[in-house]
């Protein structure tokens, strides 16, 4: 149990931990929705079984799939847009990466600080006379903005699907 302040009143409350979702892919391995266990990334047979179960579950049940792996990872796992579209033709998929799914920088990883620096945001922060570059805010500005962008484009794609009956694959980069 973790204490959290409720509504800024100083009143403390406790919340029960939330069980992991049944379709979670993690860095350490893959959550198998059939067995309810985390399969180590080193267990190749277990990962293959879990990914197969995830593919079926995601494509049959999900309206949208969002992922933020490096380009090519979802294809290697068999969870790419073409595969999922074969199971559910109207699925919406959002692929978020640092520099997009194509182009010369596609294989580079990215985090908030690298995108802030590369985009020039750090040189825009602060006040005249202060040392530059400076980090933008106390929390990752790019992490927050990409979250809003993700939500906006997913809602727009689902709205389009409702109007046209067609799914789509969205390639959204942080930079």
The catalytic site residues sit at 143
Question: C-alpha 42: how far from its chain's center?
Answer: 23
Within 10 Å of residue 104's Cβ, how many Cβ atoms? 7
CB 33 within 8 A of CB 54: yes
* 37-40 and 29-32 beta bridge pairing: antiparallel
Q: How many CB atoms lie within 10 A of CB 170?
A: 17
> Could you tell me which of 162, 163, 164, 160 has the C-alpha nearest to residue 152?
160
């Amino acid at each position: 149990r973790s204490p959290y302040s409720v509504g800024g009143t100083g009143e403390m409350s406790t919340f029960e931990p939330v069980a992991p979702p049944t379709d979670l892919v993690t860095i350490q391995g893959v959550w198998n929705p059939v067995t309810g266990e985390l399969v180590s990334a080193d267990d190749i047979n277990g990962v293959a079984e879990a990914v197969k179960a995830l593919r079926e579950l995601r494509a049959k049940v999900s309206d949208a799939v969002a992922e933020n792996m490096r380009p090519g990872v979802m294809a290697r796992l068999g969870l790419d847009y073409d595969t999922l579209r074969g199971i559910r033709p109207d699925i919406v998929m959002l692929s978020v990466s640092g520099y997009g799914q194509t182009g010369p920088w596609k294989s580079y990883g990215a985090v908030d600080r690298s995108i802030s620096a590369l985009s020039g945001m750090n040189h825009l922060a602060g006040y005249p006379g202060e040392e530059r570059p400076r980090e933008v805010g106390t929390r990752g500005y790019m992490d927050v903005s990409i979250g809003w962008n993700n939500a906006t484009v997913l809602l727009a794609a689902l709205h389009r699907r409702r109007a046209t009956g067609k799914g789509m694959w969205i390639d959204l980069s942080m930079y």
